[in-house]
Structure 1
Amino acid sequence: MASFNLTHSDPSTFILTGIPGLQAAHIWISIPFSMFYIIVLLGNFTVLFVVGKEQTLHKPMYLLLCMLALTDISTSSSVIPKALFIFWFNLKSITVGGCLTQMFFLHAASVMHSAVLVTMAFDRYVAICKPLSYATILTNTRIAKLGLVGLIRAVVFILPLPLLLSRQPLCANRIIPHTYCDHMAVVKMSCGDTTVSRLYGLVIAVVVNELNLMLIALSYGLIIRAVLRISSKRAHQKALNTCTAHFCVILTSYTPSLFSSLTHRFGQGIAPHVHIILANLYFLIPPMLNPIIYGVKTKELRDKVGKYICRK
């Protein structure tokens, strides 16, 4: 109870409880969490290393894959290390500044991740619908500029969230029943008027998610229309195969998010620890699967990775 009393005496500290109701099982829960996190780091850093080393992979598609790997590493690393410290060492305290910083990097990386998925959908649209112009429309420099725009957008959109909360008075009870500082969890710690923070967070979530999903759907709608106009079935299959990896990544990214959102809204009978475990797995499963999906579905990348593995 000493750590909980600290929240009342120290105005600059929050307490992250971990997974409520399963504190006794934290060590066991940490085993799959740490294994998944190691796989996330190994898989994504392997992609970054191989693409960086191989000149033949310095193409728009693989530059986008590197951006995806960086956002996957960032989102997982924003959440999982702190969760593991809670599980292993019972280090539940986090400063208010540290909490707001974690919240910023977590949400900014998520917004950037979504922007990369949209850019990858555009890449596939150009590759299939305008193949003769692909090299002139999507150059490495243009992809880098799109990545920079996505990063600036993520920072500009998310920075007001911690800034608004930093000006709010905090309640005496600063116990967050979670493993990380989510925006709404921190909003609930405020005793002031949080209407602006809540509305801004809702608008950002709707604008970013809905707009990006609409752009991805539009890209694939145009791709399907272009493919259906091709008379050759073999050409059909070849064109669709180029989209398989990206489509699988979209499913792994948005399906857990949709499932988590539905359980929060309609799963009142689901225990809180189930919600928290699902929220943490959302930052582990997609980043773990993405490099595997691209490694399996992209022969050129698979061959280059295999070359380095066999050499070692």
Structure 2
Amino acid sequence: MVTFNGSIFMPSALILIGIPGLESVQCWIGIPFCAMYIIAVLGNTIILVTIKNENSLHIPMYVFLAMLAATDIALSTSILPKMLGIFWFHSPEISFDACLLQMGLIHSFQATESGVLLAMALDRYVAICHPLRHATIFSYRLLTHLGVGVTLRALILIVPSLLLIKCHLKRYRTAVISHSYCEHMAVVKLAAEDVRVNKIYGLLVAFLILGFDIIFITLSYARIFITVFQLPQKEARLKAFNTCIAHICVFLQFYLLAFFSFFTHRFGSHIPPYVHILLSNLYLLVPPFLNPIVYGVKTKQIRDHVLKMFFSKNQS
């Protein structure tokens, strides 16, 4: 590791300190985080297995739910093992390239999840507002294109941010990251060079992904609610609204946590650092943890098939 005028030239390794200010209790914080991760992996795996094994669930709504479950497993797995290594085994070191890889995976899976949520909102919009055209519009070919599209969008937008760090930032003030995982802004702030391009691109990506998706999800559900309230029969209104409750809960918890994490990290200079880090951790861990619970409780088809699967196993 070469130093130059008090700065470090391209550090080969970085140090993740975990949650600054809470180092003495990190081992205890790791316990609920680990429990959330285990529940997230088990719950999302059960949803994946259920949808795969039940032919009646091979429709767009549940195909998107399977995509969401797979993304949640990958997202939580990209952060938790290393985080628990810091909390429990005092293993804070991570190579520079591994840090960039983790950063790319985390932000790519976040972008993919946001894209899947948008696709789910559009699916509900067509199913409720244009039910006769739903089967024609949401064909298996379109589902494949949407899955590939949200994945490619994430890669196309995230990879340049990694290249900007790798190729543009050569000198760093320190190799210590005040975070529990390799987050984009936490790494960029280590640089001893002009990072305005990196910050601007980060804001642009956040707007193109979160801003774009939130706008269209909001428009979709505004149109859904208008259509639902215009239905003549109360039973039809309740049935249409009930199909959207689980989706609305998932959208709200994902984007509300995203906004809290985004704004506190960039504009909350007066907020203690451990609050920033905890919000960032919860933003990545809570959606994978809650999504299978929300869909398991609120979606009758998923709940019935899961109970049937476990009941039949116990009978045999």
Q: TM-score range by the shorter chain?
A: over 0.9
SS at match of 1:94: strand
Deviates further, 187-196 or 143-152? 187-196
How far off its partner does 1:266 sit? 5.9
8 Å CA contact 1:63, 1:140 repeated in 2: no
How far off its partner does 1:286 sit? 1.4
Name the counterpart of 1:182. 183
1:286 aligns with 2:301: no
CA offsets per residue over residues 17-66 of structure 1, 9 Å max, x none?
Answer: 01112212121111111011100100111111111111221111111001
CA offsets per residue over residues 229-257 of structure 1, 9 Å max, x none?
Answer: 21212211111111111101001111112
1:300 aligns with 2:301: yes
How far off its partner does 1:75 sit? 1.7
Report the CA distance shift for 1:172/1:261 in structure 2 as closer, same or farther (over 3 A). closer
Report the CA distance shift for 1:9/1:206 in structure 2 as closer, same or farther (over 3 A). closer
8 Å CA contact 1:80, 1:280 repeated in 2: no
Alignment of 1:158-307 (within 5 A): 158-167=158-167, 168-264=169-265, 267-307=268-308
| Structure 1: stretches of 5+ with no match in the other structure | 1-6
- Determine the C-alpha separation between the residues in 2 that align with 1:234 and 1:44: 31
Name the counterpart of 2:68. 68
SS at match of 1:63: helix
Name the counterpart of 1:147. 147
The normalised TM-score by structure 2 is: 0.92
Report the CA distance shift for 1:253/1:150 in structure 2 as closer, same or farther (over 3 A). same
Identical pairs, percent: 46
How far off its partner does 1:282 sit? 1.3
Number of equivalenced pairs: 306
SS at match of 2:171: coil
Deviates further, 214-223 or 135-144? 135-144
- Determine the C-alpha separation between the residues in 1 that align with 2:187 and 2:173: 13
- Determine the C-alpha separation between the residues in 1 that align with 2:210 and 2:309: 37
- Determine the C-alpha separation between the residues in 1 that align with 2:146 and 2:10: 44
Deviates further, 195-204 or 104-113? 195-204
- Determine the C-alpha separation between the residues in 2 that align with 1:10 and 1:255: 36
Report the CA distance shift for 1:161/1:119 in structure 2 as closer, same or farther (over 3 A). same
How far off its partner does 1:102 sit? 0.6
Name the counterpart of 2:4. none
How far off its partner does 1:302 sit? 0.8
8 Å CA contact 1:171, 1:189 repeated in 2: yes
| Structure 2: stretches of 5+ with no match in the other structure | 1-6
CA RMSD of aligned residues (A): 1.7
SS at match of 1:15: strand
Deviates further, 91-100 or 7-16? 7-16
CA offsets per residue over residues 153-200 of structure 1, 9 Å max, x none?
Answer: 110011001111001213251100110011111111222232221111
Name the counterpart of 1:30. 30
8 Å CA contact 2:18, 2:86 repeated in 1: yes
- Determine the C-alpha separation between the residues in 1 that align with 2:271 and 2:164: 31
8 Å CA contact 1:173, 1:189 repeated in 2: yes
How far off its partner does 1:134 sit? 1.3
Name the counterpart of 2:103. 103
Task: Tell me which amino acid in the other structure corresponds to 2:57.
Answer: L
How far off its partner does 1:309 sit? 1.7
8 Å CA contact 2:126, 2:134 repeated in 1: yes
SS at match of 1:284: helix
Report the CA distance shift for 1:206/1:10 in structure 2 as closer, same or farther (over 3 A). closer
Large movers: runs of 4+ above 6 Å? 7-10
SS at match of 1:189: coil
- Determine the C-alpha separation between the residues in 2 that align with 1:164 and 1:263: 24
- Determine the C-alpha separation between the residues in 1 that align with 2:10 and 2:184: 21
SS at match of 1:245: helix
- Determine the C-alpha separation between the residues in 2 that align with 1:115 and 1:203: 16
- Determine the C-alpha separation between the residues in 1 that align with 2:10 and 2:150: 38
Name the counterpart of 1:59. 59
Task: Tell me which amino acid in the other structure corresponds to 1:241.
Answer: N
- Determine the C-alpha separation between the residues in 1 that align with 2:245 and 2:272: 36
Report the CA distance shift for 1:10/1:135 in structure 2 as closer, same or farther (over 3 A). closer
Deviates further, 80-89 or 133-142? 133-142
